[in-house]
Amino acid sequence: MRFRSKFVAEVRRTLTALGLRACPVCGSERLAFSEWPVLLPVKGAPWPSRPRDKDAGVMYAVAVRCDVCGHVLLFDSECHRAGGPPIVTSLSEAEGDELDEAGPAGTRA
């Protein structure tokens, strides 16, 4: 499972517009936006446990990593979702790009 490439590009544009241009620790501008979601449990353990927490869930976070010092920033993907197609996919990047080009419901845009 990975984030769709168009979604990662959208998050990059949004965070850059908000001022994230350099690492807050070392000042390097070498920031890498990961296509792999970081799954964070919220409100307890979302996986089967004894007893299972009924309010538990999972946050899909976008990770931004500094290539120089390794500092990692996490952003809640739901805050960057503007509706539309799913933000995570099990498709390969090429298959996902092909689907994006096809437009809604698989029709060519």
Give tens-digit pLDDT for 13-54. Answer: 999 999 999 999 999 999 999 999 999 888 877 666 666 667
Given this model, what pLDDT does residue 102 score?
Answer: 57
80 band by pLDDT with thresholds 50, 70 and 90: confident
Name the CA radius of gyration of the chain, rounded. 16
How many other CB atoms sit within 10 Å of the CB of residue 20? 16
Rounded CA separation 37/5 (Å): 12
Given this model, what pLDDT does residue 107 score?
Answer: 34
**Is beta strand 72-76 parallel, antiparallel or unpaired with respect to 88-89?**
unpaired
Structure tokens at 34: 């990961």
